[in-house]
Chains A and B, each alone.
Chain A
Amino acid sequence: MRQHLALQTAYAIETDGLTKHYGSFEAVCDLTMRVAKGSITGFLGQNGAGKSTTIKMLLGMIRPTRGQARVLDFNAINEKESIEMRKRVAYVAEDKRLYDYMTVRQIIGFTKSFYPNWRTDIEKRLLDDFRLPLDRATKKLSKGMRTQTALLLALARGAEFLILDEPTEGLDPVVTEKVLQLVVGAAADGATVFFSSHQIAEVEQVADRVLLIDKGQLVLDSPIEAISQDYRRIRCVYDEPPPLSALKLDGVKRVAVEGRVVSVLASHNAHEIAGQMGKFAYGHRVETFPMTLKEVVLESLKRD
């Protein structure tokens, strides 16, 4: 433990070359990412992109084929360290299934027994807010109620770090909003939140950083603010498009050429890139447009 304290970093998650193969299928490929402590990070990706596999590797449920993962400075691949880490982490799984043979009261009592820092105040507040029927078997709960129970079990742990795998999937807008407010509330109380989603609007609403994964690879890692401040689409119509080598500049994420129209997705440095494009424009205007998170995500997911 002393060694662990000595090695504390500013990151809740650090992965290096994290990879998971299932036979010839690469679910996660060489994933290197950092999630800062105290942040709310949205982990975006399409279905099957590798979000859940990554989360399961972080929690020790899946053994990586290769690579390293540290969660709250604990080696997530080492079982002993993973158990220590899980004392400080709360996880809500994608399907939010709970033990069918327990009632809400029983599963709260069961979960509470593993966490000495259990927050009875949060438990009571959420039981009131959600109006959960304590003596009803969890199998008889609606999907919304099951999600709310799962969130109660996660939030009342008093965890430093919340990992939520698609917490709002399948929920109606009212419950979705409640869940997002809980996420924000947990972060305001000092917890780090890492949540996966394929709902871009949700990420935009609550996250301060976004990670985008596609086919197991990280394709976007940016603060949400930087998306509106720095990301730009730069477009120009040419008589003769410039050589692509001329556009190999810092900040160029993608270049698309459609006939005489050249469109560049820039993560930063838009001014210099527009200037370079202007050198080949010969009288045509170079246009620069701000971008939304949705546009950036869709651009990043486009296949070459």
Chain B
Amino acid sequence: MLYYKCWLESKSRFVTGLLATTGVCAFWTLGHTWINDQWRKDLIEHPDWNNPDWFLRAMNDYPFYLHHFVYAEMFQKLWVVFAVLLGIGGLMREASHGTAGFTLSLPVGRLDLIGVRATVAAVQLFTMNVLALALIVCLSNVMGLTYPLAHGIAHSALLFFGGIVFLAASLCVSEFVEGEHTPALIGLGGVGLLYFVMQPYVDGLPVSGFAIPFSVPKLMAGSPDFSIAEIDWLGMTASLTAASIFMLLAIRRTRRHDY
């Protein structure tokens, strides 16, 4: 029943996240023909425009187009935002709501409480990935386009395992910071800092050393032409290690804190 409680607690965030992420996927899939037509018109009408590197390839390579706008951009950012939001909660939040006493009087361990919360959030994020991919494949077929399923599965997996660190960080912040909205603000502030301040800077650097923590978006996106050999294993290990550290800190805090 702890799963049921976590589900009730987070279902509105999950449903919102599901609508937002599938909406983005639907937009870029259904809009492909129209967007491509506009690009071709622009190319003819404005031959002098300095187009970015990806532009010509995105016009002619549908999997690349989807990778560029979905897995490396809009879907990824939304997914990360909802990873943070789904990680918010726990005993500190319950303490500020006045329900921690009720929860802690139940015959369950604190480890179970945080474990169930992490599991439910991870399953919700995984579901977002699966439904987004299913939608992309189905709508591509409707539009007469082909999107290789293996490509989508690989990118969904990269996004999930590379980005699970955001969920772990959010769970951790929630266990340390009191208040209804403060942990969410801190989490989303961190994501904003990473994507809009650090990322443009890191994009110009080789992905190594100190830059690894700031290159999670790159890690989650992977290469447009996915191959096992191109997976950034060092980055993936660093990201999963960071996720484990965040989880351990959250567990330690949950077990020791006075509520």
- Which residues of A does B touch, CB under 8 Å? 56, 59-63, 79-80, 83-84, 86-87, 89-91, 93-95, 97-102, 106, 109-111, 113-115, 150, 153, 165
* A56, B101: Cβ atoms closer than 8 Å: yes
* A62, B8: Cβ atoms closer than 8 Å: no
Question: B18-32 CB contact bits vs A (8 Å, 1 = yes)?
Answer: 000000000000000
A-B contact pairs, 11 of them (CB 8 A): A56-B258, A61-B101, A61-B104, A63-B258, A89-B105, A91-B101, A99-B5, A99-B102, A109-B1, A114-B106, A115-B107
Contact of B9 with A by CB under 8 A? yes
CB-CB nearest in chain B for A139: B97
Instruction: Kindly count the residue-residue contacts between A and B in the assembled complex, taking CB atoms under 8 Å apart.
Output: 71
- Contacts A98-B99, A110-B1, A110-B4 given; indicate if A79 touches B110 (C-beta within 8 A): yes
Segment 78-102 of B: residues with Cβ below 8 Å from A:
97-102
Q: Which of B104, B106, B109 contacts A111 (CB under 8 A)?
A: B106
* A114, B1: Cβ atoms closer than 8 Å: yes
CB-CB nearest in chain B for A93: B101
* A86, B105: Cβ atoms closer than 8 Å: yes
Q: Which of A59, A95, A106 contacts B98 (CB under 8 A)?
A: A95
Q: How far is the CB of A186 from chain B (nearest CB, A)?
A: 16
Per CB-CB distance, the 8 closest pairs between chain A and chain B, nearest first, are: A93-B101, A97-B98, A91-B105, A113-B1, A62-B258, A86-B107, A95-B98, A87-B107
* A60, B104: Cβ atoms closer than 8 Å: yes
Question: B59-85 CB contact bits vs A (8 Å, 1 = yes)?
Answer: 000000000000000000000000000
List of B residues within 8 angstroms of A80 by Cβ: 109
* A110, B5: Cβ atoms closer than 8 Å: yes
* A83, B109: Cβ atoms closer than 8 Å: yes
Q: How far is the CB of A240 from chain B (nearest CB, A)?
A: 54
Contact of B44 with A by CB under 8 A? no
Contact of B256 with A by CB under 8 A? yes
Task: Tell me, in angstroms, the Cα distance from A98 to B8 when the chains sit together.
Answer: 13
* B97, A59: Cβ atoms closer than 8 Å: no
Contact of B228 with A by CB under 8 A? no
List of B residues within 8 angstroms of A62 by Cβ: 258-259
Contact of B197 with A by CB under 8 A? no
Segment 225-259 of B: residues with Cβ below 8 Å from A:
255-256, 258-259
Task: Tell me, in angstroms, the Cα distance from A165 to B102 when the chains sit together.
Answer: 12
List of B residues within 8 angstroms of A84 by Cβ: 107
List of A residues within 8 angstroms of B99 by Cβ: 97-99
List of A residues within 8 angstroms of B4 by Cβ: 110
Task: Tell me, in angstroms, the Cα distance from A80 to B110 when the chains sit together.
Answer: 10
Task: Tell me, in angstroms, the Cα distance from A101 to B13 when the chains sit together.
Answer: 13
* B8, A99: Cβ atoms closer than 8 Å: yes
List of A residues within 8 angstroms of B258 by Cβ: 56, 61-63
Contact of B108 with A by CB under 8 A? yes
Task: Tell me, in angstroms, the Cα distance from A86 to B107 when the chains sit together.
Answer: 5
A59, A61, A86, A113: most-surrounded residue (chain B CB, <10 A):
A61
* A79, B1: Cβ atoms closer than 8 Å: no
List of B residues within 8 angstroms of A100 by Cβ: 97
- Contacts A62-B259, A110-B1 given; indicate if A86 touches B106 (C-beta within 8 A): yes
Q: How far is the CB of B112 from chain A (nearest CB, A)?
A: 9
List of A residues within 8 angstroms of B105 by Cβ: 59, 61, 86, 89-91, 93
Q: How far is the CB of A176 from chain B (nearest CB, A)?
A: 21
List of A residues within 8 angstroms of B5 by Cβ: 99, 102, 110
